Amino acid sequence: MISSGGVKYLPLILLCFTFSNLSLAQILYTDIPDATPNASFPLDLNNDGAVDFIIQFDALDKIMCYPQDQHAYAGEVVENDYLAHALIDNSYVCDSLLNWYGADTPGIMAWSDTIGNWVNADPRYLALRLNSNDPFYFGWVRLSVVTGSTSFTVLDYAYESSPNNCILTGQLPSHQEEITPISFTLCPHPFTASTQLQASSPMENATLTLYDLLGNQLLCIQHIQGSTLSISGENLPSGTYFLMLEQADTLLLKEKILLIK
């Protein structure tokens, strides 16, 4: 165990981490006819018959997210207002990456034309967490808000049925998530300038993508061949990033990596 006093020496320690795709996602996806309710939409994220969230607008042109029971949404606090995040495609939904708010602090999605992250936004994703007394289950619902915040349309939703496992906004279940006999080693990790990804079997025309915590793409390396790949962090600031490796429409790896300068 590294003590808090030793954290500053972390960049000097050459560690190697092995990642495996044996615990890939088990995503349950629900595509519904686009729903524009008169006042509220009861969302049963895991389709178990119980309402987990209520998305609602009122006469004040305010659209809100009301978590039920111990469930929560991802958001931020701005000038005492609890604002729900409006995430873009491929944003990571994880417990350690987002701030979560529950039934005692319902989230403003959009309020007229001035308040909220959903004002005048294209279809975006609301990050959600189902609380099952730890473990947690993470998911998303995709919806759009009309100008003036007088109505909203729910498009689809999904959740990760494996406990405490991240999900990407817009991520769908498919054969991509089947178990395949391949593992990866990242060395060194954490890294200061560059690190090397080593695969247990050769890659063929693979693509590596690096995202920040909000899902913004920062690096994309295509046409990867062989068993090793060097990843440079010279043009990136210190921080936590997410790495995705795909090959022939198959998700080989998605992992959190740490860059320390």
Domain ranges of the chain: 4-24+178-259, 27-168
With a cut of 70, say whether residue 11 has pLDDT above it.
Answer: no
Write the pLDDT tens digit of every residue in 38-75: 788 999 999 888 999 999 988 788 999 999 999 999 99
Amino acid 68: pLDDT: 96
Tell me if the domain spanning 4-24+178-259 has CATH number 3.40.50.300. no
With a cut of 90, say whether residue 169 has pLDDT above it.
Answer: yes
With a cut of 80, say whether residue 178 has pLDDT above it.
Answer: no
Q: What is the mean pLDDT of residues 125-148?
A: 89
Lowest-confidence segment of 29-33, 98-102, 246-250 by average pLDDT: 246-250
**Tokens standing for residue 144:** 């759009």
Q: What is the mean pLDDT of residues 11-33?
A: 65
* pLDDT mean across residues, the chain: 84
Top-confidence residue, 130 or 36 = 130
Amino acid 89: pLDDT: 92
Question: What whole-number percentage of the chain has pLDDT above 90?
Answer: 45
Write the pLDDT tens digit of every residue in 229-246: 999 998 899 988 888 888
With a cut of 70, say whether residue 25 has pLDDT above it.
Answer: no
Amino acid 61: pLDDT: 84
Amino acid 9: pLDDT: 35
Query: Left, alpha or beta for 192 (phi > 0: left; psi -120 to 50: alpha)?
Result: alpha
Top-confidence residue, 84 or 257 = 84
Amino acid 174: pLDDT: 64
